């Protein structure tokens, strides 16, 4: 093990030197006598001269301020170069960064991303991100990154679902990402149809290859075409405060996603007390991937933050029909153990002019706690999710995936308590628990409420067997259906998942595995009407309903 650590340290040293070299390509740092200079050339290279006396002064202070590198903070001057230079200096010397309280930093240039590797306190400062006429729409404003280099492990060619140990020996606990591009999963159906994505999985292993079974492997891999081990930083990096305002892009309304954001690609990060607002949304605009975005990392907490939903715009989808484009303020991709605690949004969570605030893909163990947001959504699967002490708005809870989905002590104001996404087969392989909750169908508008909605007619290959939750437990649920249509006959457990399946004559090409058991305890309605099984009793005739 000592020999292995020595090899790793050599690799870290080599890679660190490579990172400095790379950094020097973006930020060339010198320490000549004279004046502070931060200058960008025509190729985007940033040259920064920090005189020796200023360097010593900053190091003695124990932190870096943006003003140390010439940031004006006047809300007019583009300060991104000074901000990037400040972080480059802080990263090299291991110093925290603090914005100047009361300053307003204007960011227009799309040629620069400031790399954060140390604690950063945006504090009482404001930031204006001007996306009008932005060209490089994929340029993050900040990239939160680790100093630890990733590895490409050799010798691992097979994986089995729920495998507890893999044949890897690593110097640090790591996030493993694996891909088999010979198998396609999540073959989307509907107006945004596609040919699917390569089979992907993420999991955490310790130094000896033991898998964290709180986030188990969910696919069998007969072939691995790509694998990466991303070390998990042991120290927590904290980003605090700051009020960010995006002046929205004015681009054509089509799927040209903008990523002018804070992108987290390091494990063990806390984002606390940040606010993001949006101005200038007009008659058209391109969608956003998420102002707080995270990818290929683990153990992320977003706490006491204020987000904003983006205006909903329409375009023509891949099926040639008009669709509303998803546009997000929170985005999670290939992440384990992400928590959102005491977060809320600036606009009305029931305002249908704005898209839902959150989306995730290929992630595991997601948590909302004490949040008031318009939406929770798992596109290409989630393994295990919890929503507690929260209020969800007009887009409610949307999910497909595996494991246990728990909703407790929460109010759901969507068209269902949980919508199993029909474009991915309305599949949940596992258990769903709803406990001590209130369901307000359609936010109190006249609506025939169903606890679970979805559609799967058994005619499309999604790249996997589709399941309804094997077991459902509902305890202490109040359905506030006082406002309902004239022809209302009471709420249902299940909506009509297949309106064509009304008798034995209907045959599925890709059978949809139905729920086996539903346990009910203390389900009440404002209307006084009883809870029915479904709008399609034939489809759910074999489901066992247990009243406790």
What digits encode the pLDDT tens for the residues 440-479? 998 888 888 899 999 999 999 999 999 999 999 999 999 9
pLDDT at 12: 37
259-292 pLDDT per residue, tens = 999 999 999 999 999 999 999 999 999 999 999 9
| Interval 71-96: pLDDT, tens | 999 999 999 999 999 999 999 999 99
Enter the tokens of residue 375. Answer: 């939406």
Q: Are 259 and 136 in contact (CB under 8 A)?
A: no
416-420 and 292-303 beta bridge pairing = unpaired
So what's the pLDDT on residue 548?
Answer: 81
Under the phi-then-psi rule, with left for phi > 0, alpha for psi from -120 to 50, and beta for the rest, what region is 332?
beta
CA pair distance 126, 276, nearest whole angstrom: 10
- Per-residue pLDDT band for 338 (boundaries 50, 70, 90) equals very high
The pLDDT of residue 227 is 97
Contact 435, 475 (CB under 8 A): yes
* Nearest residue to 73 (alpha-carbon basis) of 84, 82, 86: 82
Residue 447: what pLDDT? 80
Is residue 233 within 8 A of residue 116, CB to CB? The reply is no
pLDDT tens-digit profile of 488-508? 899 999 999 999 999 999 999
Instruction: Let me know: does 137 contact 110? Beta carbons within 8 Å.
Output: yes
For residue 521, is pLDDT > 60? yes
- In degrees rounded to 5, what are phi and psi of residue 34? 125, -135
Instruction: For residue 96, give both structure tokens.
Output: 């925290």
DSSP-based three-state secondary structure for 19? helix
- In whole angstroms, what is the distance from residue 305 CA to residue 270 CA? 11
DSSP state of 354: B
What pLDDT does residue 40 have? Answer: 86
Say whether pTM exceeds 0.75: yes
> Per-residue pLDDT tens for 141-196?
999 999 999 999 998 999 999 999 999 999 999 999 999 999 999 999 999 999 99
Say how many Å lie between the first and final Cα of the chain, rounded.
55
Q: Which position has the higher pLDDT, 310 or 535?
A: 310
Write down the pLDDT at residue 4. Answer: 40
β-pairing, 226-231 vs 174-185, is antiparallel
């Amino acid at each position: 093990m000592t020999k292995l650590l020595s090899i790793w340290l050599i690799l870290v040293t080599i890679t660190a030197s490579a990172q400095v070299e790379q950094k020097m390509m973006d930020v060339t740092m010198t320490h000549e006598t004279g004046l502070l200079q931060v200058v960008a050339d025509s190729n985007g290279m940033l040259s920064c001269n920090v005189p020796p006396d200023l360097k010593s002064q900053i190091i003695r202070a124990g932190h870096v301020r943006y003003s140390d590198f010439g940031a004006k903070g006047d809300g007019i001057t583009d300060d991104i170069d000074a901000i990037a230079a400040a972080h480059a200096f802080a990263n090299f010397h291991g110093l925290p960064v603090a914005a100047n309280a009361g300053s307003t930093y204007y960011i227009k240039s799309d040629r620069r991303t400031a790399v954060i590797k140390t604690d950063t306190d945006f504090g009482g400062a404001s930031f204006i991100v001007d996306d009008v006429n932005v060209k490089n729409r994929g340029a993050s404003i900040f990239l939160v990154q680790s100093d630890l280099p990733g590895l490409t492990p050799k010798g691992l060619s097979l994986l089995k679902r729920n495998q507890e140990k893999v044949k890897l020996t690593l110097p640090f606990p790591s996030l493993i990402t694996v891909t088999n591009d010979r198998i396609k999963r999540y073959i989307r159906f509907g107006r945004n149809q596609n040919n699917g994505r390569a089979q992907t999985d993420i999991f955490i292993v310790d130094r000896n290859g033991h898998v964290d079974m709180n986030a188990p492997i969910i696919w069998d891999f007969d072939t691995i075409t790509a694998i990466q081990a991303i070390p998990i930083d042991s120290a927590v990096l904290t980003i605090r405060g700051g009020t960010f305002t995006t002046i929205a892009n004015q681009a054509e309304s089509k799927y040209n996603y903008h990523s002018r954001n804070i992108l987290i690609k390091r494990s063990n990060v806390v984002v606390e007390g940040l606010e993001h607002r949006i101005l200038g949304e007009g008659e058209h605009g391109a969608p956003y991937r998420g102002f707080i975005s995270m990818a290929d990392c683990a153990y992320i907490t977003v706490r006491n933050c204020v987000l904003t939903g983006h205006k909903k715009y329409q375009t023509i989808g891949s099926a040639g029909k008009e669709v509303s484009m998803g546009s997000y303020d929170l985005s999670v991709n290939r992440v384990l153990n992400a928590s959102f605690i005491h977060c809320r949004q600036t606009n009305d969570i029931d305002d249908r002019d704005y898209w839902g605030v959150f989306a995730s893909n290929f992630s595991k163990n997601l948590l909302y706690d004490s949040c008031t947001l318009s939406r929770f959504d798992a596109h290409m699967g989630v393994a295990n999710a919890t929503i507690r002490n929260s209020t969800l708005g007009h887009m409610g809870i949307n999910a497909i995936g595996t494991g246990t989905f728990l909703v407790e002590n929460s109010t759901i104001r969507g068209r269902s308590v949980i919508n199993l996404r029909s474009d991915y087969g309305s599949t949940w392989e596992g258990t769903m628990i709803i406990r001590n909750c209130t369901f307000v169908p359609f936010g109190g508008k006249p609506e025939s409420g169903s606890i679970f909605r979805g559609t799967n007619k058994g005619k499309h290959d999604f790249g996997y067997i589709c399941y309804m939750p094997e077991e459902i437990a509902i305890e202490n649920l109040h359905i506030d259906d006082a406002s309902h249509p004239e022809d209302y006959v009471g709420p249902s457990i299940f909506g009509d998942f297949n309106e064509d399946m009304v008798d034995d004559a209907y045959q599925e090409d890709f059978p949809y595995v139905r729920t086996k058991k539903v346990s009910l305890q203390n389900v009440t309605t404002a209307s006084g009407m009883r809870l029915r099984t479904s709008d399609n009793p034939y489809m759910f005739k074999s489901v066992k309903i247990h009243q406790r």
